[in-house]
Amino acid sequence: MSVNFQTARFLTSAATLAQCPPDIGAEVAFCGRSNAGKSSAINALTRQKSLARTSKTPGRTQLINFFELSETRKLVDLPGYGYAKVPMSVKDHWQRHLEDYLRARNSLRGLVLMVDIRHPLKEFDRMMLEWSTDAELPVHILLTKADKLKRGGQQSALLGLQRNLPHNASAQVFSATRKLGLETLESTVGHWLEEEN
């Protein structure tokens, strides 16, 4: 049974692991710095313009948002990271609950990590890669906003990243506005969601 991403609907938001929906079925989580294009990628994948809302307020981004594809399949929008104005205590809170979710969620099949193609991996990106490796969880990196670079620049950024990736990671170029790389993203996420426990 293939996955129909267009059926996605908002399910719930959770501030802690305890508030998350029942840990059953399969889910794929999207993560990345606050301005890396996470919401745009989810909206492109589901063919819905405002399913995942882009928010200017840090408060909204502290929540883990769940989108239901079917009774047993979900997409998860993890808190954005990297607001300079957010107090350290709030960042610590995010990190703690992110780690709880990544380590304890049995239904989590894979992680899609958003990275702006114009910038090298930041500390948060490396931390997510380390977490996923420790948890033996596959991670797929989307080099977002690829339309900002010419094709040569895109390939150069991709090859540079692929040289140092851990064994559990893959990567591709992606542009939500141009739908560049959308089929590859659909295939990767769809494959993960079709895996049973």
Q: What is the β-pairing status of strands 64-70 and 73-77?
A: antiparallel
Q: What is the pTM of this model?
A: 0.91
Q: Which residue has the higher pLDDT, 133 or 92?
A: 133
So what's the pLDDT on residue 82?
64
Number of domains comprising the chain: 1
Are 33 and 114 a contacting pair, CB within 8 Å?
Answer: yes
So what's the pLDDT on residue 86?
62
Are 34 and 81 a contacting pair, CB within 8 Å?
Answer: yes
Cα(6)–Cα(104) distance, integer angstroms: 28
So what's the pLDDT on residue 50?
84
Least confident range of 3-12, 31-40, 158-167: 31-40
Least confident range of 12-16, 22-26, 70-74: 12-16
Q: Per-residue confidence at 58, pLDDT binned at 50, 70, 90? A: very low
Q: Is it the case that residue 95 has pLDDT exceeding 60?
A: yes
**CATH code assigned at 59:** 3.40.50.300
Q: What number is the average pLDDT over the span 72-92?
A: 76
Are 139 and 113 a contacting pair, CB within 8 Å?
Answer: yes
So what's the pLDDT on residue 2?
81
- Domain of residue 131 covers 5-193
So what's the pLDDT on residue 57?
52
Q: What number is the average pLDDT over the span 63-91?
A: 81
